[in-house]
Every structure is written in C-alpha cells, then in structure tokens.
Structure 1
Amino acid sequence: MDARKTPSKIDLYDVRRRPWYIQGAASPKDMLILVDASGSVSGLTLKLIRTSVGEMLETLSDDDYVNVVYFNTRVNNTACFDHLVQANVRNKRFLKDAVRNISAKGITNYKGGFELAFEQLSSLNVTQGRALCNKIIMLFTDGGEERAQEIFQKYNADKKVRIFTFSVGQHNYDKGPIQWMACTNKGYYYEIPSIGAIRINTQEYLDVLGRPMVKANNKAKQVQWTNVYQDALELGLVITGTLPVFNKTNTKADKERGLQRPQNQLILGVMAIDVSLDDIKRLTPRFTFGPNGYYFAIDPNGYVLLHPNLCPKNPKFQEPVTLDFLDAELEDEIKVEIRTNMINGETGHRTVHTLVKSQDERYIDRSERSYTYAPVKGTDYSLALVLPVYSLHYIHTTIGDTITQAKLELVSESLQEDKFEEYGYTLIAPREYCKDLKPSKNNTVFLSMYSLKSIRNSVLFL
C-alpha cells in the first residue's frame, strides 16, 4: 500500500495475514474451536476470548473447515451449524457474529465440550465437505482443574487430533491441566494475557502444522494457486502461486556423521509470485469469440477466477474475492453438473438452454449456449469456453474478395434515435455494444478502427 496516500494511518500490514500466505503456509485443516463460557470468564476475559476467536478464524482459508462450540454447564453450537462448514468469507462472518452473542454463566465442563468436539471432527455424514488432512481442536479458556483424560483416551488414543490450548486473561488459575492437554495431544500451549498478545499467538500454530510438511520433503513442495484477491500494492485483482520454504539445516554432529536430519523442522516462510487478472485477460483471443462468446475459469472450490460477471465494485483488502460459478450465472441442473465436472478436473462439452443477461444487466434473453471445458495443466484451475450456437459457424472469404457496402440511406436515417418520433417508432430495448467505436459510413474505415482496438486489447502470437 502506498504510504504517501495514507500518511496519517498506522501501517498494520502483516504478510502472514494475507490470503496467499495463509494458503501457502499450511495444508488444509478441519478445526473445531472450543470456547469456555463458564461464569469465571465474564468481563474482560470473555471480550478477549471473542476477539481471539475472530482472529483465529482469519487464519483460515477456503480450503479449511471449521465450527465453533461453547460450553459451560451445557454444550452448544455457537451458530446453527451442527457440523464443520467451509471457512469461506460468509461462514466466518456468521461465526464471528454468533461468538459475540456468547454470555458467561454456569460452571466449566471440559468433558462435555471435548466430547462434542471429537464427535463433530469424526462425523462421517459430511465427509465430502472436509479437508481430510489436519484435525485440530482450539481451546480458549481461563484455566481449570479438570483434565478430561478419559475423553482423550476414548476419542484420541492414536493422537490424530492435535489440541492447542489458550490461557486467556490475567488470573491465578492453575495452568497445568490445559498445558497437559496440549502436550499430551501433540499440540501447543499459548497465553493471551492482553489484547496485544492476540494477533501473534493466534497464528503461531501454523508453524507447528508446518513441521510435517518439512518431513514430507518434495511431496510438500507443490505450487498452490490462491483465490482471487485485492492486491496490497494496488495492482487490482490478482492470483498468487505460492511455495513453502523449509528450514533443513543440520546440526554439526549430524554433518560429521553424514546424516541428513533437519534440525528445527520449521517452515521459514512462503515464496510467491503474483499474476494479475488483467495480464491473463490480455493473453486470451477475446475478439475471436464473436458476439456473446466468453470464457471463464474456476478453482477447486467452484469460485470463478475469470468471468464477465466477476466485477466486484468495492473489494475488501482483507478478504478474497469469492463468487461462485452458480452465482455468476443463472443456475440450472446442467450448470451444476458442469461445475462438478470442472472441479473434478474432467474434460467435456455440454449444450445448455439458458437465460442470459445483457451486458448492461437490464435485459434477459433465452439462448442456447455451448460449454466446452478442460483442466489447466499444472494448476487446480479449470477453463471453459462458452459460445452461442450461431458462433459455431463463420463466413470464409479470401483476400482477393471485394467487399460491397450496402447503402439504404432511408432505412438508416429512420433508425436514428432522434428520428423515432418522426417515423412513429418506439425505443424498447436500447443495447449498445462496442461503445468506444464510432460508426462510419465507410466499411474500410470502420474495420480499420476495429483492428486497432483489437491490437490494443489483445496479444497477437505470430
């Protein structure tokens, strides 16, 4: 962000909070956030917990799944979700709003809270909507004497679920039990005594989740492509290819023995490169598609990367731009099938009878469209070309052919908008295309202007 444009503002830019870093720093995860809502957390501690949960949700991307559960005497879902949901912008905002309504009362019930948390993480009825990679429980509490040891032995004897615990607020409660919970279940323990400690402590867990990626070596070194988001340097909408960077240094003793054993097993950061959507558009032969022809691309979540209707008016700097393909177009059964096939990386072709909006979004036409789609090699994206059926044919001529211009001056004059009243016409549906091209009585001049426009807006490959 250009500091000259915001001289009076504090620079709060944190690369670790950007969408591309979040997606590149860790593998997908299923996260259950467990909130202590007993009477002892009332006041400032509850405010810190609410803020901490909100910051924790911001460390998740669309590849993750999450739910928030709070417990006191009873155990309840914070929102109306009774299972994990995709951590998209809408669901995270919904969970944040629900967390603000939590009130503190009753007594602490770790056993009930952890039991519901493990049940939701192990639920099989929504397996298709899961990350199926890392499983995590995040506990936000002020401390307590209970360890819930029998619950861990019952549900997590194999230690497949990591448990991270957060001691929130300034108090004199025994921290030993919640430290034991984290260490026994391959997690980590953090303290959040004040609001200044929230931001850094709610993202430290990403370093712990990055350790298995170090051990995976080249298997984890795969370029991941992000969702569309607003660039911080004001380059507009971009996507980013990311690659994690690992610490693989060895100790002196290991080097002397010839052992290749990482010393710290840490992820150092994320290397990335931005690709502007405008640059991608310039590489496409848009002017060969004909009238009403277009292309679009989607990511594995069904969000459009490229689409004529992807025009966010005020994209937020902190959030990715997420527009589902079925929201970008008028939904029907065939388009649902096309979306599913594209997400699965299939190649195919379908003809669809659909309703199409005009470019000015004022009119709806019934049209027949041809959808041809295929995966993009080396990425998780899938690309589609959409053409009206009349664009499947074209006029073929040779260079020596003579172009004859038909001139019907009376008809042309009567169709001018300012002549409508004189000739008794009514303007029903004004639709303008190529607004920056001025009409000409000479075909050669008009074609020359059109060619210059094509050269300016596209890249020619010779």
Structure 2
Amino acid sequence: IIKIVDIDGRDQVRDFAEDMERMLGSKMKSVKVSTEFDYYNSMLVNTADEDGNFIELGGEFPLEKNEHFNNLPVNTMQSDVQVPTNVYNKDAYILNGIYWSEALNDVFMNNFQKDPTLTWQYFGSSSGFFRIYPGIKWTPDSNGVAAFDCRNRNWYIQAATSPKDIIIVVDISGSMKGLKMTIAKHTINTILDTLGENDFVNVIAYTDYVRYVEPCFKGTLVQADLDNREHFKVLVDELHVKGEGKVAKAMKESFKILNEGQGSLCNQAIMLITDGAMEDFKDVFEEFNWPDRRVRLFTYLIGREMTFADNTKWIACNNKGYYTHISTLADVQENVMEYLHVLSRPMVINHNHDIIWTEAYMDTVLFATKAQSLLLMTTVAMPVFSKKKETLSHGILLGVVGSDIPLLEVMKLAPRYRLGPHGYAFLITNNGYILAHPDLRPLYKEGKTLKPKPNYNSVDLAEVEWEDIDETLRTAMVKGEMGTLSLNVRASVDKAKRPLFLTNDYFYTTINDTPFSFGMVLTRGHGQLMFMGTVSVEEGKFPHSTATGHSLCLSSAPTYCETDIDPHHRKYSQLQAVIRYLQGKEPDLECDEVLLQQTLFDAVVTAPLESYWQAIMLNASGMEVGVETAFLGTRSGLIRLTRYTGIETRVAKKFLTPADKDNLFTVDHFPLWYRLAMENPPGRFVYYIPVEDKDNRDKTGTIPIIPSLVPDQFELSWQCLLVSLYDYQGMCRSGHSHSSSARPLLSVSHVFQYFLTMKKALFAETFAMSHKAKRTDALQPCDTEYPGFMLDNSIKETNSLLKCGRCQKMFVVQAVPDSNLVLMVVQADCDCSRQYSSITLEPKEVKYNASVKCNRMKSQKVRRRPKSCHAYHPKENAKDCGGASEISLSVALFLASLATSLALRRWT
C-alpha cells in the first residue's frame, strides 16, 4: 500500500510540543523528589599518598566508564562531593551539611532507576559544597585549582532568587585610590556575574557629581545579558578616582530609575560600594523608600578602615539589605553572594519551590574533564530551604537541587524525517534566546581547537531567522502564542557557501510549565508531503551487508528504537536494535513504528539496486572510469551504497564513512547532496563536490574561484543573482582591551594578596596591577555579511566582453544540459586585475557607528517575564543585616593557598 500524506503543520507542532511537555515534566518530578530528603571528596577519591595509602577524604571509589554519561568514569551507586578551594573542606558547617545531604544518595539513585534517561543530578549548598550523582573523579583546572563554585552557576542563582533590577553605585572619589579601587572593580564584576537574562542593571559612579559608566544607558535599566555585562566590565575597568565623594545625588538618581517601572518589576536593589558614607540619607529614604522599603540597599565597605562602618551598616539595615566589609580581594566572592541569600528570604518564608529552567549552556565541568562532547544542555532546578519554625523569619536557604537535560534528547522528539529535507524544529526561551536551532553555531575554531563562543547562549531568534524583519515570529513565540507564519527566506547551506531560496511555513506554540516556546518549519513542496508505504516485517528484514560488498546502513541520527531507557539495550547500535526488534528478540524495545515502517518500505523498494550494481561490477566494459561509489539515500535515513574501488585507490576516502558528518543524515540536517537533489526537477543530474577541511590534504574535490568578474556586468550578461547573506554569530579578529579572565582563581590566589597587604602595601599594589586590562588580538563576536550567487536557469547560453584598458577579455558561459553545471570559458591573455577587484566569498565585518551601537545595546526587545516573583514578605526578619567580615582560615588552607598563589605568580 502506497500513499502520499499531507502534513498538517498545526497538528504536528502540537503533537511535538506535548511530547516535550511530558519529557520535561518527568525531569521536574525528579527534581521535586530531590528536595524532600565521613564523605567522598570528588577531588581526592582514589588518591594515595607516597606510601600507597588512601589520603583523607579520598578513599577507594570504584569508577566505570558509562556511555550514558559521555563515557566518563562514574559510580552509579554513590554520589560524591566537590568543595571549592576557597572553602575549607573540613569546616564543621560544611561537614554538617554534607552529612545531612547524604540522604540524597538514595533519592538520586531512585530517580535514575525510575527514569534512566536522566543525566547529572546534583545539589548545590549555600555554604559552597556541591554533591553530584553519579559520583565522579573531579579534575582540577590547568592551575591545579578547584575553581568551580556551584553558587556562581546560573542555575543556582536563578533558583535562589526571583528576577531583579540592580543599580550598582560605586564611589570613585580620591580616597578610593590604589587597592581600594581594585577591590571595588572586582566587586562590581562579581555582582555582574550573578545576573542573568531575566535581570536588569545599570552602573553609576559618583564623586561630587553623578556619572553613568555608560552614558548611552542614562536614566534607564538594560537587560543583564552577556553582551551588556561584558560591556560594563570593560567600562568599569577604565574608571579613575578623583574629587570628593557625595553619594546622596547618586542615591536619588538610582531611586528615580527604579521608580520608572522598567526592567523585571520584581526585586529591586541598590548596591553601594564605598570606603565610607558620611552623609545623612534619612531625607532621601523618606522621600523614595520609606515606609514600604521596596528597594533594598546592600552596602559594601571597601578597605581596612572602619571609621564609617556604623553609618554604612545603618543604610543597609534600615532598608532591608545587608552590610559587608571587604578589606581584601579574597573577601569579595563570599561577601557578594550574601545578597542572593537576602533576596531569597521572601520565597523561602512562603515555602515556594519555584521550578526554573536555564538558557542553553555547555557543562564546563565535564568540558574540563575532557568527557564533554560539546552538547548544549538546559538545567531544571529548584530551591531547598529550612522548614524549622524557629528560623522561619530568617528565610534560610539551604541550597539548590537540579538536573541537566541534553537539548539533543529533547529535539529528538521532533524527528527530521517528519519535517522534510529543508524543515527543522527549534526552541527559544522567554527572552527570545535560542535553546536549540540547526543554525545555532555555539563553537568556533581557533587553530585546531574548538572553543565555545563567548555569547553562544544569548543568540536571539531574530539573529538566525533574520528574514523575519518585523520580528513577527519572534514576538508571537516570546508571548507564548500558537500560530503560523510564512516567509520567503534565503537559506545558506554547505557551511554558508551556497544560498537556497525557499518558502517556509512556520508553526509555533508554547511548552506548558516551562518558559520555552517550540517552533517548526515546513518548506513548500517536498516539506508538505510524506511518502508512506506499507510492507510486512518479513519483507522488510534486511542484512547489514552482503557478500558482494554492498552495504546498507541506518543513520544514527533518527531514533528508530530507544536504546537509552534500559541499560541492557545501550550496547546496541540503531541498526542492531532495529533488527533484534523485528526478529522478536527484544520485544521490550520502544521503537518509532511510523519510522520503522517507512524504513522497511524503503529497504524493500530499493533492494533491486544491489543486483543492478552487481551486474555493473561484473560487466567491466559498462564501468565508467573514475566511479568509486554508488549510493542511494532515503528520507528515513536509510543509505545503500557499493564501493567499486578499494580504500587504497579511492580519492574520496572519507565520503560516506562514519567520520563524514556533512554527507550523512544527522540530527541537525539531511545531507547536502540530498537537499540539492530535492530542489531540482526530476531527471536532472546534480553534481556536487564535497570539500574537506583545509587542514586535510586528501581533497575529494576543489571549487575554483575565477577572479576579476565584475558583479554588475556579469549579472547583466548571465542573469546571475548576487544576494547578501548575513551571519550574526560571526567571530572577527580585532584588538581591544579587556579585563583579566582569571576571575575564578581570585578567591584562591588573592589569599596571598591578603597576606601581602598585612606586610607591605608595595607588594599589594604590584599584585593589583597584574589585573589591569591587557591588549589582545583574540577572536571576538561580530556581525558579518557575505555574498551568495544564484543562477537564472532560464538562460542557456551567453557571452560578453569586459574592457580592461588596452585589451578586452571575452568570456562565454553555457549551461550543461540536464545538470546544475555551467561551463565557462574565459580569455586568458588580457589582464583585468588592475581595473576590477576579485570577487570572494569571504565574510566582511559589519561596522556600526556609535549611535547604532547605543540603540542596539539599550533596545528592549519583546520578552515574557517569569510567572513568579517573590520580592516581599511581611514576616521577614530585616534585623539580620550583616556585620564586619573577617577571614577565618585554617593554617593548612592558608599555606595551600599561599603555595598556589606563589606558583601562579611564578608562571605569569
């Protein structure tokens, strides 16, 4: 039975979204369970001393490689704990927290047994320790330091607090010179690092007048996305001290901004960073903040002087904030984190276990352990808090529990075979940022190393679907609407070397109980139809390969059968799983019956090709010289192929091998040769030259570039359409200033700074100078434009002359019948290089003037605010508002930190 089925985009997008809701809902249930609940230190497990004995906290901890966890050696019977270097791992408070959190072991294991598709589960404590399941051997960074602190991670911060509007007010008067200013700048940067895409921010500096660090942002709040945060850091690094400090004007300006009703409209706070506040602020607070005290004030007293400590503390305590004293760089991290715990109080008192979902990110922990396959993830997380009645008003946050969900697994619920060769599915956040999209390119290549782009998780949908000029699609999806939209698009394929003109139908809806929206694209023509056939299982059974050398393989991209649910099935490839399921050997396998039926049908109707290829092989006179491989691909991901030459003599050695990702069916795309063939009329041959990476000398083909063809004359003669294509995820090389990126090491190496400040100020100033901005020539995110050429197939032949000074260059262009080839003959004895520049396909950076840059940075795109907000509770105990901080370190930790700092100083 054979039939052509029309695809109803509205029904299909709804079905896909419901599948995703069920999957993501099961992950939320696991996280909820995890909130109702002598240790292994992951840095020290399986570590022995010189005598061969296990060191303290590092006992024997069995580890086995597990394919489900990226082949990382793990212990699925036990979680273990990581403690940052700047936290003493045997502190009584830490040990007590680790002891009671031991109960999470059974919860994590039970979650994994109920849902074997779960990946990492973890608990991040407010005191700093991090419990992870399954247990791993934690690998320190290149400096031998455990810089990872779970409290700095976005999933922790988002779960611990509601969205927030933050005004950072910094004193740049003359008294702040030297080390004080260095500490102040680091404090600002640390606060900025605690903000995310749901937060809003501005930075104001003051002396005897108010100065916006970025004049473009005067009188407003801007979204705290990565680009704006990094922009603030660069400007903060350029601040210089002068004059007398008068903070009252800056306070009034901050209150006015927050009263404008912009930003998140949830938590509001002013962060005052100063070495002393001498003025009387009572009138300011009475005018703007009392009696409701809706705006919290957090004060950070900088330096060793305590003369103005009482006044600075009074400001925080009378405005439901928190006061901290930061005398050294080592104090910054812990003291800044205190404000998050204050903001969490209303949520904790309400006992609201709000579930949050993060934007896309790469797990840098696994990346550091070399077990990361560079997959994007999202985290589902929720807060854990004390329920003791006697501490209820204090709103004590115990920590955050979470679990990672690979976005690749989510997108498998919208399989490509149901979307057609040019169709695709995508996910975005409530802020319009992309979670998953086939055109999202989170990595860039520097030399031979792949690295994450700095802004890979803040790419806006409008920057990928850039044909949607009015942002109609983006606006509707961000608002959580369901609907359709049609657009004529210029799609770039083959690594942006070839443009395709397509008409796309977009279908979109929201995913309930998450901040995400789901979109799906069907291309007019082949994308709207599905060819369905029915055959029996007996007819469809097929071998992996035959004695004649023919091969049949299934793509690993579509999930024909789910092999990840039962650990027993994980050893099977997709082809093995399909065959065993069809043979009745694994009836418990969960398989996609529609895809299997389509694959079986494809296998049956293409089976005669084997005898045809065999006949050609046996008839040597019928063989064309140079033919190496014959192959056929179908929409279901099935490929049949035969090799006519051995690997030794084959020119295209990589073609259609497992390493040839570009020419195989993958999760992200159909092969380019398949897509190009689908866009050509029946009976027309498509010639395609796969070009391997430049680093690989075994070329399977080359693309010649003919210089000195002038766009306007060539277009008139041959009707070659020159189109502009854009890449808003480009990386350009340009010198710029930036602050040291070694922020994670500050909490360790700056213990040495603390020691030096007690000994001699000269050393402290020298150390602080090492953190000043440095000139670099690194690749940085940018926008680029590049040309694309499309041929008018109605023109079969033409010729023309180009005048080049004293000579003329003649060229003739003729279409090769029944193909996508063009024959071009160019006169070689006339040099036109002086008159006409070469045409290249190289991208060029798009430069913006200051006005355009300003508008782009402060523009507020349509966004959907998170549903929950916990900014106020009448039972909150505002008297817990901080005090002077002192460093308390054990001798062992101090000496270890000192040694590390000395080593770092020696290396730099």
Using the size of structure 1 for normalisation, the TM-score is 0.82
User: Which residues in structure 2 correspond to 1:78-157 (within 5 Å)?
Assistant: 78-79=213-214, 80-82=216-218, 83-124=220-261, 127=262, 130-157=263-290
What residue number does 2:491 align with?
356
What residue number does 2:691 align with?
none
1:262 aligned to 2:392? Answer: yes
What residue number does 1:382 align with?
517
Q: Which of these residues, 281, 301, 304, is aligned with residue 170 of structure 1?
A: 304
CA contact (8 A) 2:172 2:241 kept: yes
Cα pair distance change 1:331/1:111, threshold 3 Å: farther
Find runs of 4+ consecutive structure 1 residues off by over 6 angstroms. 317-320, 404-407, 416-419, 433-436, 453-458
Measured on the aligned residues, the alpha-carbon RMSD in Å equals 3.3
Q: Aligned equivalents of 1:77 and 1:316: distance in 2?
A: 32
Q: Aligned equivalents of 1:215 and 1:144: distance in 2?
A: 32
Q: Aligned equivalents of 2:173 and 2:315: distance in 1?
A: 19
Aligned residue type for 2:384? V
What residue number does 1:254 align with?
none
Q: Following TM superposition, by how much is the alpha carbon of 1:403 offset from its aligned partner in structure 2, in angstroms?
A: 4.6
Cα pair distance change 1:398/1:276, threshold 3 Å: closer
CA contact (8 A) 1:248 1:264 kept: no
Q: Aligned equivalents of 2:147 and 2:503: distance in 1?
A: 50
Q: Which of these residues, 155, 158, 162, is aligned with residue 27 of structure 1?
A: 162
CA contact (8 A) 1:147 1:181 kept: no
Q: Following TM superposition, by how much is the alpha carbon of 1:305 offset from its aligned partner in structure 2, in angstroms?
A: 0.8
Q: Aligned equivalents of 1:70 and 1:105: distance in 2?
A: 11
Structure with more relative contact order (C-alpha pairs < 8 Å, separation 6 or more): 2
User: Could you tell which deviates more after superposition, 356-365 or 23-32?
Assistant: 356-365
Q: Aligned equivalents of 1:49 and 1:119: distance in 2?
A: 24
CA contact (8 A) 1:65 1:85 kept: yes
What residue number does 1:181 align with?
315
Q: Which of these residues, 70, 73, 80, is aligned with residue 205 of structure 2?
A: 70
1:229 aligned to 2:361? Answer: yes
Aligned residue type for 1:164? F
Q: Which of these residues, 222, 230, 240, is aligned with residue 379 of structure 2?
A: 240
Aligned residue type for 1:21? Y
Aligned residue type for 1:296? F
Q: Aligned equivalents of 1:300 and 1:362: distance in 2?
A: 33
Q: Aligned equivalents of 1:175 and 1:246: distance in 2?
A: 31
Cα pair distance change 1:88/1:315, threshold 3 Å: farther
Cα pair distance change 1:388/1:137, threshold 3 Å: same
Q: Aligned equivalents of 1:134 and 1:225: distance in 2?
A: 19
Q: Structure 1, residues 92-133: CA drift from partner, whole Å, max 9, x if none?
A: 000011111111111111111101111111124xx3xx1110
Cα pair distance change 1:303/1:6, threshold 3 Å: same
What residue number does 2:415 align with?
285
Q: Following TM superposition, by how much is the alpha carbon of 1:69 offset from its aligned partner in structure 2, in angstroms?
A: 0.2
CA contact (8 A) 1:37 1:71 kept: yes
Q: Following TM superposition, by how much is the alpha carbon of 1:283 offset from its aligned partner in structure 2, in angstroms?
A: 3.4
3-state SS, counterpart of residue 242 of structure 2: coil
Q: Following TM superposition, by how much is the alpha carbon of 1:230 offset from its aligned partner in structure 2, in angstroms?
A: 1.2
Q: Following TM superposition, by how much is the alpha carbon of 1:153 offset from its aligned partner in structure 2, in angstroms?
A: 1.1
Q: Aligned equivalents of 1:151 and 1:117: distance in 2?
A: 11
1:304 aligned to 2:434? Answer: yes
Cα pair distance change 1:362/1:60, threshold 3 Å: same
Aligned residue type for 1:341? A
Q: Following TM superposition, by how much is the alpha carbon of 1:323 offset from its aligned partner in structure 2, in angstroms?
A: 1.4
**What is the percent sequence identity of the aligned residues?**
31
CA contact (8 A) 2:423 2:521 kept: yes
Q: Structure 1, residues 220-242: CA drift from partner, whole Å, max 9, x if none?
A: 32211001111122443210001
Aligned residue type for 1:118? F
CA contact (8 A) 2:637 2:665 kept: no
Q: Which of these residues, 326, 333, 356, is aligned with residue 192 of structure 1?
A: 326
Using the size of structure 2 for normalisation, the TM-score is 0.43
What residue number does 2:196 align with?
61
3-state SS, counterpart of residue 504 of structure 2: strand
What residue number does 1:326 align with?
462
Cα pair distance change 1:43/1:5, threshold 3 Å: closer
What residue number does 1:255 align with?
none
CA contact (8 A) 2:430 2:478 kept: yes
Aligned residue type for 2:412? R
Q: Structure 1, residues 302-361: CA drift from partner, whole Å, max 9, x if none?
A: 011110012211555998722111112324235x11111111111001111121111422
Aligned residue type for 2:229? K
Q: Aligned equivalents of 2:420 and 2:641: distance in 1?
A: 18
1:343 aligned to 2:478? Answer: yes
Q: Structure 1, residues 169-204: CA drift from partner, whole Å, max 9, x if none?
A: 122532122111111111111010000000111111
Q: Following TM superposition, by how much is the alpha carbon of 1:250 offset from its aligned partner in structure 2, in angstroms?
A: 2.1
Aligned residue type for 1:133? C
Aligned residue type for 2:330? G
Q: Aligned equivalents of 2:665 and 2:327: distance in 1?
A: 61
Cα pair distance change 1:105/1:456, threshold 3 Å: closer
Structure 2 residue ranges without an equivalent (≥5): 1-135, 444-449, 537-600, 617-623, 628-634, 644-657, 669-908
3-state SS, counterpart of residue 202 of structure 1: helix
Q: Following TM superposition, by how much is the alpha carbon of 1:5 offset from its aligned partner in structure 2, in angstroms?
A: 7.5
Q: Which of these residues, 314, 335, 348, is aligned with residue 201 of structure 1?
A: 335
CA contact (8 A) 1:303 1:325 kept: yes
Aligned residue type for 1:291? P
Q: Which of these residues, 120, 143, 149, is aligned with residue 14 of structure 1?
A: 149
Q: Following TM superposition, by how much is the alpha carbon of 1:263 offset from its aligned partner in structure 2, in angstroms?
A: 5.7
CA contact (8 A) 1:211 1:267 kept: yes
Structure 1 residue ranges without an equivalent (≥5): 252-260, 410-415, 420-432, 442-448
Q: Following TM superposition, by how much is the alpha carbon of 1:32 offset from its aligned partner in structure 2, in angstroms?
A: 0.1
Cα pair distance change 1:331/1:39, threshold 3 Å: farther
Q: Aligned equivalents of 1:203 and 1:320: distance in 2?
A: 26
3-state SS, counterpart of residue 379 of structure 2: strand
1:392 aligned to 2:392? Answer: no
Cα pair distance change 1:359/1:21, threshold 3 Å: farther
Q: Aligned equivalents of 2:201 and 2:221: distance in 1?
A: 5
CA contact (8 A) 2:411 2:425 kept: no
Cα pair distance change 1:237/1:315, threshold 3 Å: farther
CA contact (8 A) 1:249 1:264 kept: no
CA contact (8 A) 1:2 1:233 kept: no
Cα pair distance change 1:230/1:397, threshold 3 Å: closer
Give the number of equivalent residue pairs: 416
Q: Aligned equivalents of 1:225 and 1:417: distance in 2?
A: 58
